[in-house]
A and B are shown apart, each in its own frame.
Chain A
Amino acid sequence: MTMLSSAAPARARAPAGAQLAQWLLRYNFIVIFLAVLVAGALLSPDFLTFRNIANLFQQGAVVGIVAVGMTFVILTANIDLSVGSMVACGGMVAALLMQAGWPAIPAVLAALATGTVLGALLGAISAYAAVPSFIVTLAGLVTIRGVTFLMSGGVPVGGLPRGFGQFGTLQLHVAPGLGFPILGILFLLVCIAAGLLLRFTVFGEYVYATGGNAEAARLSGLPTRLIVTGVFALSGLLASSAGVLLTARLRIGQPTAAQGLELDAIAAVVLGGTSLFGGRGGVLGTAVAVMLLQVLRNIFNLLGLGSFYQMTITGLIIIAAVLLNRVIDRRQGNG
């Protein structure tokens, strides 16, 4: 089911209490998120400051935008391992073109086009040749990273226009003295657009149906292979956008950027309740999970826990969340 399914007409409704319990079960990640927020606020007075929250968005934006694309891919019961390399590649294409004297906007558009085409290519190979996307995008992960190193000669690319670099750390003044990072705003906009796409377009409905049962979708006349190609193109587009934003924030094109980012993105999608078997989940869960992981890291830092502890505990939390979702699935007879 989708994450925003309140609009469906109903014949008979469960009593309000039972309905609330249902809601809490389905959106358990929000409950967990709120609990973590309360814990953070109790642990440190600096936690719930506007500055700290703005900072969390600045840090979460890149992986967040990638995770939104990953949500579409996983909803069709596929997986995209190439996104980390795609981030680096997109950022590098933009950096190289600007270093070669291109103005920022055409350079960025070229980077996004590159990501979209590469994503579509991987998706099409998987869909039309019926190769598991795990293998195709694993090959993509290696190849695209290799190409990124080749393009840059293995070294960071600097000398980018001043304006482009400033964009990465730009703050939008929402109130006097309160700046909110443009990256965070872009992440939120991407989430909203993706949520609308999934909920209110035929494409979104087709994504759910293809992931839920590709055979039934095909026999209902859906162009399932085109849909799979489409979600990979979207994932490539969003990953290369994230790459451009990362390059702007770092002010260099870094060929080693975003290594292992695909795993963070997958973790966020799964943590957000999207089923790896496809057909169930949504962007709201992913967005909350991305921020949840950021908040956890923030709390660990406030507690002074080192990164070894952070990795261990984050991993355990993901396992616990996935088990919880499994239990809920069973209870609802979806398992």
Chain B
Amino acid sequence: MADDTGFVLEVRNAAKIFPGGITALEDASLAVRAGEVHCLLGANGAGKSTLLKIIAGAHQPTRGSILVEGREQRFRNPHEAARAGISMIYQELDLVPQLSVAQNMLLGRTPARLGLIDRKARLRRAEAALARIGAQFGPEARVGALSIANQQLAAIARSLTLDARVIIMDEPSAALNETELARVFEVIREITAQGVAIVYVSHRLPEIRAIGERVSVLRGGRSIGTFAVADTTEQSLVEAVLGRNRQLLERAGRAPSPSARPALEVRRLSGPHGLRIADLQLREGEIVGLSGLNGSGRTTFLRALFGDLPSEGEILLGGRPFQPRRPADAIARGVGLVPEDRKVQGLVLGSAIYRNATLASLRRGTWLTHRQLGARAEPVLTDLSTRYSDIAQPVRQLSGGNQQKVVFAKWVLAGSRILLLDEPSRGLDVGAKAELYALVRRLAEDGAAILVASSELDEIYVNCDRIWVFHEGRNLRCFELPQSSRDEILEAGLVGHREEQA
């Protein structure tokens, strides 16, 4: 189908300047071949999402052109892009959970006769698309009842009903565990074999290696280049993404050894979703990682410790018994939670930076002035090297990494000595991740005790002193670092995984 250029989709020297002179994209080019998985890589703010929106018709480029199968196109809206065969799957899947898979797939294009819905035609078309991806759920399943991975697959199937030639997937892996991701990859391979091209956006280099054929890198609104994945080292990709500001995620030699004083001792703890934790200790100045599959109980454990989920057991905190019934109990004893989803659980997005930072430390007084609050927040925010233009600006306007620092500042201000971090780097680019973990290490050096739950082993492997592998609500095994190898830890997770399958 591709024309003589051989590309199904081509973006040439696209630029986007928003009203007010903000340049989101300076000069981006992208050439996608039919049937390939073309990865797009770039730090936050590199212009990835602007480029995607231009391709999908949600933005109009200020300069530059888009060619679909060799013909220049000007999309005025996403519908026109869809008609030209370009379909976008957003990170926050835009499916209606209350409706069935078939209803969602043909939403807005429901087959009808004389205004009456043609249910048979709808089912037929949905079934055909689901068959192409080998889905294990039917067209009448309610979308809300599907797992995130299956919802992802339903979204892909929907693109197929649009006869998409190019499907753009914006960080599809963010909410998936490894098994689910493998399934999504399988489907991607199937549909690329049918000639559909995939533009795959991800921060995770191993994924790009697993699925991508070529990768284009954006930095500071410009295209840096396109590389064949097989011939490119991770090192050189990281360099392309970060340019001169490169801060590699390397195992840092942590200077002070953890003091012997135990900060937290979970002798036994049982809670919802089959949580049963035994003999887990955390010392002052120590960073302990929690690894395991999604649903292995990492998040449940942290929320139970924070008093957000009911639990029972025997916990010592600073040597004294600790039975958190509500978050306020935990906060009063110096425990802070950096929750999984900073936008939904961590921050009041529309509220000022300093008001978010001081939110957990207000109960000591009844009266306050905003000048005082700002003065209290500012040194801590500065200390955490948070970048903002006005401390009174809504926290929504900050980048992801800086938003996360505001959440950290909240607990520093509340005097927390034990920090529970649940997927703290989710959605952050490589540079922001490195900065985040540098901050975590510094807090530990100052004596804080830190638990980090993460689905990315690499990340905690290089930053933690020990790693607990969780499985089905239990803490399976503890690995000392750096003595244990990455493979050993991975295997422990996989052993649990095999048992799960049996």
B351/A219 in contact, CB under 8 A: no
A334/B396 in contact, CB under 8 A: yes
Q: Complex formed: what's the CA distance from A213 to B359 in Å?
A: 12
A: residues with CB less than 8 A from B are 1, 5, 7-13, 199-203, 205-206, 208-209, 212-213, 215-223, 279-280, 333-334
Least Cβ distance of A194 to chain B in Å?
Answer: 15
B370/A212 in contact, CB under 8 A: no
B327/A220 in contact, CB under 8 A: yes
Q: List chain B residues, Cβ under 8 A from A220.
A: 327, 331, 359-360, 410
- Give 5 closest A-B pairs by Cβ, nearest first: A8-B392, A212-B348, A9-B374, A221-B331, A221-B328
Q: List chain A residues, Cβ under 8 A from B374.
A: 8-9
A209/B348 in contact, CB under 8 A: yes
Q: Complex formed: what's the CA distance from A222 to B366 in Å?
A: 14
Contact with A along B369-411 (1 / 0, CB 8 A): 1110011001000000000111110101100000000000010
Contact with A along B296-308 (1 / 0, CB 8 A): 0000000000101
Least Cβ distance of A222 to chain B in Å?
Answer: 7
Q: Complex formed: what's the CA distance from A8 to B351 in Å?
A: 12
Q: Complex formed: what's the CA distance from A212 to B330 in Å?
A: 23
A333/B348 in contact, CB under 8 A: no
Most buried by A among B306, B368, B397: B368
- Report, as a range, how many residues of chain B touch the other chain: 35 or more
B396/A5 in contact, CB under 8 A: no
Known: A8-B371, A216-B347, A218-B327. 18 other contacts (CB 8 A): A1-B351, A7-B369, A8-B354, A9-B391, A10-B391, A11-B388, A11-B389, A199-B370, A200-B368, A202-B365, A205-B368, A209-B351, A209-B359, A216-B344, A216-B346, A220-B410, A221-B331, A333-B397
Q: Would A279 and B366 be within 8 Å (CB), given that A5-B392, A219-B345, A221-B328 are in contact?
A: no
Q: Complex formed: what's the CA distance from A216 to B371 in Å?
A: 23
Contacts A/B (CB < 8 Å), 18 sampled:
A1-B352, A5-B352, A8-B392, A9-B374, A9-B391, A199-B370, A202-B365, A206-B362, A212-B349, A213-B351, A216-B346, A219-B345, A219-B346, A220-B331, A221-B332, A221-B414, A333-B397, A334-B396
A221/B360 in contact, CB under 8 A: yes
Grouping DSSP codes into helix (H, G, I), strand (E, B) and loop, the A interface class, with mixed when no group exceeds half, is loop
B493 within 8 Å of A (CB atoms): no
A219/B363 in contact, CB under 8 A: no
Q: List chain A residues, Cβ under 8 A from B355.
A: 205, 208-209
Least Cβ distance of B483 to chain A in Å?
Answer: 36
Q: Would A213 and B349 be within 8 Å (CB), given that A8-B370, A220-B359, A333-B397 are in contact?
A: yes
Give residues 303-359 of B contacting A (CB, 8 Å).
306, 308, 326-328, 330-332, 337, 339, 344-352, 354-355, 359
Q: List chain B residues, Cβ under 8 A from A203.
A: 366
Residue of B nearest to A204 (CB): B368
B378/A216 in contact, CB under 8 A: no
A9/B345 in contact, CB under 8 A: no
Q: Complex formed: what's the CA distance from A225 to B146 in Å?
A: 32
Q: List chain A residues, Cβ under 8 A from B365.
A: 202
Most buried by A among B306, B354, B394: B394
